[in-house]
Amino acid sequence: MPLELQAPALSLYVHLPWCLAKCPYCDFNSYAAAEFPAERYVDALIADLERELPRIWGRPVHSIFFGGGTPSLFPPESIARLLSELRARLRLTPGLEISLEANPGASESKRFRAFREAGINRLSLGVQSFDDVFLTRLGRVHDGRAAMAAISSIHDAGFERWNLDLIFALPGQDLSAAMADLERALSCAPPHLSLYQLTLEAGTPFAHQAPPGIPGEDLAADMERALRERLHAVGLVRYEISAHARPGQECWHNRNYWRFGDYLGIGAGAHGKITLPGQGIWRSQKPARPESYMDDALGPAAEIGRGHWVQPAERPFEFLLNALRLVEGFSCAQFEAGTGLPCLEIEPQLRRAQREGLLTYEDGHWRPTGFGLDWHNELCGRFLPRSPRRPAFHAHEPG
């Protein structure tokens, strides 16, 4: 019997799509450009938001995340203007988390203090590695010295909340090199660290022609195990598949994704998920190319991009694909509030996954085991609907 959907916490995702260069492993909606129309794009974001307001009117916004691309390429005054326009239109909760993704670089690092003055209170720094050899193999435009300088700028600007992205299983990397990279990261005392294995995503240059020397599965698994043990030993606790944090430093915005929270997405290629009690769950996606997005947003169209209602049969898989990324797992009450369906509908699959050692049940919560986190796709496959539509998710991994 269907239950009443409940509107969860709401976040705002803002996509800023330009980068100095497109990394060969990156499958995000990003575009290399030496120059870009920052002010026109901000105008488009405001116009996009105006059209979305009826769906979320009056609901408090608990976090804002500027993702990309490289949002730190935007002038701080453009970010300040956009935040001012957001404050005028949205009900922002006091002290909400406002994150901005950044890459190391001399010109960007000089802007960190200005971003803080504009209202950004959390940075996510895409270091990926501190080793110049591996950075070159990844196609990054910065070196290890620039990475360390950027972290110094974060401290100098007074940011207490920030994240560092690190990738392992790099071309030609062995276990000792991966551990050395992590130790350099830990020497900077990050309060949050996102750890990713290099993957060859479809459609990227690396997928078309893999670089030589990518570690095999066994070596990559050994690296991951050793790196995560070291992170845990220094107090950076794993709370999501890729995310480690000190207590109280978890990324609120990204954790809201995994808790199947709502998020309004504005910007080129941005995804959104909005729960409308009595109607259903609405997923949206904006035009991917910045030029098309700006033309549509600044034109007369009533809607920008496309969207669809998530069918009830699809909701359990979408909920679990997110919730089972979290170490904390979920309760049946959370499942029922988020999907509008009784937990009994998925109990056979839950029990099967429990027997297989993928899930545990304790204190009213279903939680993935370490084995379940490592085999997340296989675990979630237990809950696929018979005729699934490919789910549309937010544009970014946590960071």
pLDDT for 366: 98
Which pLDDT belongs to residue 1? Answer: 55
Whether 66 contacts 100, CB under 8 Å:
yes
Give the integer Cα–Cα distance in Å for 274 and 297: 20
Q: Contact 293/44 with Cβ under 8 angstroms?
A: yes
Domains, the chain: 10-256 (3.20.20.70)
pLDDT digits (tens, 9 = 90+) for 364-380: 999 999 999 999 999 99
CA–chain centroid gap for 182, Å, is: 21
Looking up tokens 């909920």 gives 319
Q: Is the pLDDT reported for residue 135 higher than 70?
A: yes
pLDDT tens across 215-244, in order? 999 999 999 999 999 999 999 999 999 999
What's the token pair of residue 353? 């996954």
Instruction: Evaluate if residue 253 carries a pLDDT over 90.
Output: yes
Q: Residue 201, SS3?
A: coil
What is the DSSP pairing of strand 91-102 with strand 60-68?
parallel
Residue 293's nearest CA partner among 41, 75, 69, 71 is 41
Could you give the C-alpha distances from 95 to 31, 63, 101, 117, 120, in angstroms and in order?
Answer: 32, 9, 19, 14, 11
Element containing residue 164 per DSSP (H, E) = strand 161-168
d(CA 12, CA 60): 10
Distance (Å, rounded) from C-alpha 235 to C-alpha 222?
A: 20
Q: Summarize pLDDT for 93-106 with one digit per residue, the tens.
A: 999 999 999 999 86
d(CA 285, CA 283): 7
User: Tens digits of per-residue pLDDT, 153-166?
Assistant: 999 999 999 999 99
Sign of torsion over alpha carbons 288, 289, 295, 297: positive
Q: Tokens standing for 240?
A: 């999501």
CA distances from 245 to 16, 42, 189 (A): 26, 32, 11
Q: Does 395 score more than 60 pLDDT?
A: no
Indicate if the pLDDT at residue 284 is higher than 80: yes
Q: What is the DSSP string of 294-328?
A: HHHHTSS-SS-SEEEEPPGGGHHHHHHHHHTTBTT
For the chain, what is the mean pLDDT? 94
pTM recorded for the entire structure: 0.94
Strand partners, 188: none
**Whole-angstrom distance, CA of residue 32 vs CA of residue 72:** 14
What pLDDT is attached to residue 398? 47
pLDDT in tens, 254-280: 999 999 999 999 999 999 999 999 999
- 163, β-bridge pairs: 124, 192
Phi and psi, residue 23, nearest 5°: -70, 140
By the 10 Å C-beta count (0-12 exposed, 13-18 middle, 19+ buried), 212 is classed as exposed
Q: What angle do CA 14, 240, 195 make, to 5 degrees?
A: 80
- Residue holding tokens 């990738």? 167
Give yes or no for residue 391 having a pLDDT over 80. Answer: no
- 344-346-352-355 Cα dihedral, nearest 10 degrees: -60
Query: How far, CA to CA in Å, does 137 sit from each of 23, 173, 218, 397?
Result: 10, 11, 21, 22
